[in-house]
Amino acid sequence: MAEPTKEELMARIAELEKQAGAKRGNRIEFKVSEKGGRVRLSDSADALRSFLQENKSWLKLKGSE
């Protein structure tokens, strides 16, 4: 499998940023209310797991070189 080109990587980044919505820096924030906060939190956890699985080859574990 050939490595992606710079243009392909930039397009993928743009796609992921569009999916993520507004950029909020390097932090994740959750607001949990009495009405449905738990459901939205669970949905976000599933999306995060999906993202990590899809991008596993690009990610490194902390402490592994």
pLDDT at 17: 78
**Nearest-angstrom CA–CA distance, 48 and 34:** 23
Q: pLDDT for 34-49, tens place per residue?
A: 776 566 667 778 888 8
| pTM for the predicted model, two decimal places | 0.35
